[in-house]
Amino acid sequence: MRRLPHLAALLLLLLPAGIAAGRAETLIAAMSSHQIQITSNYTGSQLTVFGQVERDGRSVSRGDPYDIVVTVRGPRRMLLVRQKERLGPIWINATQRRFPENPVFLLVASSRPIAEMMSPETARRDRVGLLNAERTSQGWYDDSASTTLFRESLVRIMQGKGLYAYEERGVTFLSSALFSAPIDVPATAPTGSYTVDVVLYAGGVPLARQQTNFEVIKTGTEQRLASGAYDWPWLYGLVTVLLALFFGWGASVVFRRD
């Protein structure tokens, strides 16, 4: 009995070492740039995620190949999806579903199709893929037909706008340890902060995770106009109305028929 406290203390000392030894792989990820600047001729941009898998030299090599999944989430907003129904000759909004704090931009890129990397159950549990990326304990475990229908509709609508995308081979291994993944940011992507989650898998099991970020900002005249509209909304509205009246009067003079 006297030796029990000493054994407990020894186990506490060995526990961190055991955890560190169990981490055979570590992941290092970086962005080609951490800022996208929107100017008057902005038509979209592309960033690149670079990463490296570092292995413990004493670890035995794994039988399964490495897989990488990159998930990019943009600024979060309240998104609303409405279901329309036909009532005679017209269409009306019947039911709707709100998605609070949902990313406006969502990109998932993987080194190979997710279906080849893990089972659908594992993908749902680990929140991998467009349909699973925003599963939360507050309601995403509701797998009813209604919830699934609205989520699929939201993803389809955002894909049509170019704000959601899945690249099943968007991650390329440059060597056995180095990889890269291009991130296409369309011109319609909102300004704000974007998070980039990079996860290393082998045999469908997550081994390491790294997170980085970038931001989309306005510069030049666009930024000054946006700041002026926010800081002095009444003046911005007045100037807009005056400009509209001026150009309307000018057009009537130029194209007036004698």
Model confidence pLDDT, tens digit, residues 169-181: 999 999 989 999 9
What residues does each domain of the chain span? Answer: 18-218, 219-249
Q: What is the mean pLDDT of residues 36-53?
A: 91
Q: What is the mean pLDDT of residues 71-87?
A: 89
pTM, two decimal places: 0.74
CATH 2.60.40.1930 fits 18-218, yes or no: yes
Contacts of 127 (CB under 8 A, 6+ apart): 133, 134, 135
| Residues 133, 125: Cα–Cα separation, whole Å | 10
**Is residue 165 within 8 Å of residue 107, measured between CB atoms?**
yes
| Residues 225, 154: Cα–Cα separation, whole Å | 32
What mean pLDDT is reported for the chain? Answer: 82
pLDDT band at 10 (very low <50, low <70, confident <90, very high): very low
Helices (H), the chain: 4-22, 114-117, 120-125, 145-160, 220-231, 233-254
Model confidence pLDDT, tens digit, residues 20-29: 344 588 999 9
As beta bridge partners, residue 88 has: none
